[in-house]
Amino acid sequence: MSDLLTLQMEFMQAAALLIQKVKELGYDCTGGDLFRSPQQAAQNAADGTGVTNSLHCDRLAIDLNLFKDGQYITDDTGHRDLGAWWKTLTPSVPGAQFKWGGDIVHPRADPNHYSLSPDGVRA
């Protein structure tokens, strides 16, 4: 099995735990992007809202929309704790790393984005 397929499968299991963690921490969520086509990623990059080499294109990233008492959370509230937990997970492929979008600085922080980076660099 390729490293990519191994990571894609580990990512989905981790995402299931992440969604359960949302509830455990007292929030609710709806799903945002998971898979994104290269064409959409290129459009997002052109719009300044994403990057062309997005891990969504590799099925290694998911966006979660958090809610507290029915209210959509627009900042990193809740995501900070979820991101900290997410980053404690350990992938089986050497060099790979769970990353949280709240740590991204370019093009902008993206708190609802959770990924599994194959090289520990891409987010």
Residues that bind Zn ion (CB under 5 A): 61, 63, 113
Residue nearest to Zn ion (CB): 113
Nearer to Zn ion, 60 or 96 (CB): 60
Length of the chain as a residue count: 123
C-beta of 22 vs 69, nearer to Zn ion: 22
* Listed residue (94, 110, 89, 76) closest to 6, CA to CA: 94
Is 101 within 8 Å of 112 (Cβ atoms)? Answer: yes
> Cα–Cα distance between 47 and 39 in angstroms, integer?
12
> Shortest gap between Cβ of 66 and Zn ion (angstroms)?
14
- The residues near 5 (Cβ < 8 Å, ≥ 6 apart) are none
Nearest distance from C-beta of residue 56 to Zn ion, angstroms:
6
User: Least Å distance between CB 63 and Zn ion?
Assistant: 4
Q: What is the smallest separation between the CB atom of 94 and Zn ion, expressed in angstroms?
A: 24
- For residue 120, the tally of other CB atoms under 10 A from its CB is 14
Nearer to Zn ion, 55 or 96 (CB): 55
Q: Name which of 69 and 86 has its Cβ closer to Zn ion.
A: 86
